[in-house]
Structure 1
Amino acid sequence: MSRSIRADGEATRGRILEVAGEFLASKGLADTTSKEIAERAGVNMASINYHFGSRGGLYKAVLAEAHRRLIDRDDLDRLFASNLPAHRKLHGLIGFLVDGGAGAARWPIMVLGRELLSPSPHLASLQQEEIFPKLRIILPVLHEISTIPADDPVLWRCLPCVVAPCIMTVLLSRAKPGLDQVSGPMSRDDLIDHLCRYAIGGLEAIGRAHGNET
């Protein structure tokens, strides 16, 4: 297969993903049809089946792409393999989440939000292929800050407590009227600093409480 044909195929696949993400974010899985995705993307139904196998395969690919745009595995690997202290790595992680959620395309975070609120059979695949591998990269840094053992279930419960406030703050900031109308405007760097202090304070408090209980 020539390079130009491969490039055309990748462009078509990317266009289908983008259109599908927009429809799924606005209408949800149950109310989105392959036909309307194909029409908007300027392809036929056979093209969707060629690139994704089925409607379910397309949705699975959209979920994975949405999660990668929110937080990319390669970015995590580079950050957490660095010699930065734990609190700076956490700061970098929160920066990824804020930037990923505030990207020009709104559909990734909306699609993920819909899936978490109304899980489909594809959530298990997303967890195994995208979510859990990334959480395992993050876990040692939370251990270092909290001093809770890495294999302790308490530390796993800390993960959503770090991630969820970042995503919710970004979502509320993008709403109309936005959060900034109540809290006042905040720059990207100030927001990341704020969320990082919040996360570190919580991790240290849970660590102290856990130490007193054991």
Structure 2
Amino acid sequence: MSKALRELRSDGEATRARILEAAGELFAAAGFAETTSKAIAARAGVDLASINYHFGGRGGLYQAVLIEAHRRFVDLADLRELALSAVPAADKLKRLIGQIVQQTTDDAGGWHLAVLVAEILAPSSHAQVLFQSEIPSKASYLNSILAELTGIPEDDPALLRCAISTVAPCILLLIGRRGVPGPVQELRKVPYGDLVDHLHRYAIGGLEAIGREYAGARAARSRKRRK
């Protein structure tokens, strides 16, 4: 690759990143419907054609922002490294919960959190891109941790229920960033270490109970087949 081509590609990547960051900040502040391409272009210091060139329009840009927001919330490489590590499964889950709690209770946070909260509370058709690009691969690593804890195969529907039950409190904490009054705000005031310990113990207790139930049912089926 020639030097001129490398520089052109580098400039293009920098422009794309600048547009993405500007769009993320504006979408977080005003939402997708109220944020115009013109406002994004002005904030990023580019022309409107650059948005169309890099993202195919405002809708494509918003999808890119959603993907980037999800990546900042849970990084696939970090999750993969955690899931494949030699750390005991219970400790893996605690580390993951700790990472999520740290983000959801940090009042500073970043635009990615506001964008995700808005999409959770009022899902748009653009959210489907997350189920196509981000969520499946991350869910597979979470499932591997939960399977190790429960003894339930990763393709068993029972493990999906376990995953939803484990993640739900963290999503609730994320929604609590909107400042809606109620018990979630009291929960967010709990010291970080105490909150992580509580959520971890609660999750482990439920997962172990489901695992015992699953093992018991499997043993009962095995005995029945032998008769």
Task: Establish whether TM, by shorter chain, passes 0.5.
Answer: yes
1:113 aligns to what?
117
Q: 1:2: Cα distance to partner? A: 5.6
Q: Shift of residue 104 of structure 1?
A: 4.0
Give 3-state SS (helix, strand or coil) of 1:43's partner.
coil
- Higher mean displacement: 55-64 or 31-40: 31-40
Do the aligned partners of residues 6 and 191 (structure 1) sit closer, same or farther apart at CA in structure 2, a change above 3 Å counting? farther
Q: How does 1:16-27 map to 2 (within 5 A)?
A: 16-27=19-30
| Paired-residue identity, % | 52
Q: Counterparts in 2 of 1:157-168, with a 5 A limit?
A: 157-168=161-172
| 1:156 correspondence with 2:165 | no
> Which residue is 2:198 aligned to?
194
1:169 is aligned to 2:196: no
- Cα deviation, residue 99, structure 1: 3.4
Checking the alignment, whether the CA contact within 8 Å between 1:16 and 1:41 is kept in structure 2 is yes
1:9-158 correspondence runs (5 A):
9-101=12-104, 102=106, 104-158=108-162
Q: TM-score, normalised by structure 1?
A: 0.84
How far did residue 44 of structure 1 move?
1.3
Instruction: Give unmatched runs, 5+ long, in structure 2.
Output: 219-227
Matched to 1:32, the amino acid is: T
Change in CA separation of 1:158 and 1:180 when aligned onto 2, cut-off 3 Å: closer
* Contact in 1 for aligned 2:67/2:129 (Cα 8 Å): no
Matched-pair contact (CA < 8 Å) for 2:146–2:159: yes
Q: Give the deviation of 1:208 after TM superposition.
A: 3.5
Cα separation, 1, equivalents of 2:14 and 2:192: 32
Structure-2 change in CA distance of 1:146 and 1:24 (3 Å): same
Q: What's the C-alpha RMSD, in Å, of the aligned pairs?
A: 2.8
Greater C-alpha Rg = 2
- 1:78–1:181 Cα change, 3 Å: closer
Residue 164 of structure 1 aligns with an amino acid whose one-letter code is: A
TM-score (norm 2): 0.80
What is the CA–CA distance in structure 2 between the aligned matches of 1:28 and 1:187, rounded to whole Å?
Answer: 31
Distance 1:178 1:117 in 2: 16
